[in-house]
Amino acid sequence: MCRLLAYKGPSVILDDLLYESEHSIIKQSYNAMEMDEPLNGDGFGVGWYARTLSPEPAVFASVRPAWNNQNLQYMAPKIESDCVFAHVRSASVGSVNKLNCHPFHHKNFLMMHNGGIENFEEIRRPLLAMLSDARFRDIKGQTDSEHIFALFLNHLDQLNDTSNLRHYRDALKHTVDDIVELKQQYGLQAASSLNLLITDGSRMIGSRLVTDSNEKPLSLHYATGHRFECQDSMLTIQGDPEEGAQHKAVLIASERLNEHAQNWQDIPANHYFSIDSGGTITVTSA
């Protein structure tokens, strides 16, 4: 069912985020602790921003398991960034294909998803009919996740002003509402899990949702602080994790990267969240 990680804050070396912590996302690719199936070996992707070179992110993806990719092992200690998305995949909708690896990229946006729309093929065609020609052409792969991203961008296209973070949140909520309405229209009762993350490189929005109120959403945690350091496989988070306070660094992760529970808080079930350019995280109910 995949695992994901997002970081925003002072520049960090990718190696520290991806490999070096006690329970890094690379370790989650073969030994996930908060899902029934421990393996996430159907490919991976990493997206990061190099602002002095381009406002658009770099993306590196592969269908090889993350734990066994020599290129990633070589690159990670030599790249640093202040905004990073990372995802290890357990394929559900869509084949094991590089086009189906997260994060998905459009201009300065990155998007990734943990979960799935159950019976997605039943609503795929009407969902595509909701898109503009431009957003329809953007879809290259088969995943429900990429279709969700296209629907989000379609809503964003309809806004005259995207300078306000609230507009991003509204576009994401409209996207989820469309999916729920389509499922209801086609009589699809099975729960869909929508742990979503989207960034434009300076701000971030996301959700921890499941469409059946009787079910618990997939795990999603966050940690905030002034900086993150990783030495001798020990991740240290410096700073006060109080929600709503101004922070310089934020980590969002499907699974905690260290064993210090006091460093981490859960994104509450069926909530949206946003992180502004200054690092303040705000959590709101769905």
The catalytic residue positions are 2
Alpha-carbon 222 to chain mean position: 12
DSSP 263: G
Token readout for 60 is 């590196």
Token readout for 145 is 């996740």
DSSP 268: P
Token readout for 8 is 């925003």
Total count of residues recorded for the chain: 286
Q: Beta-strand (E) ranges in the chain?
A: 3-13, 44-48, 58-62, 80-88, 104-106, 109-116, 193-199, 204-210, 221-225, 227-231, 234-238, 249-253, 265-266, 271-275, 281-285
Token readout for 162 is 């995207």
Q: What contacts 7, CB < 8 A, 6 or more positions away?
A: 17, 83, 84, 228, 249, 250, 251, 252
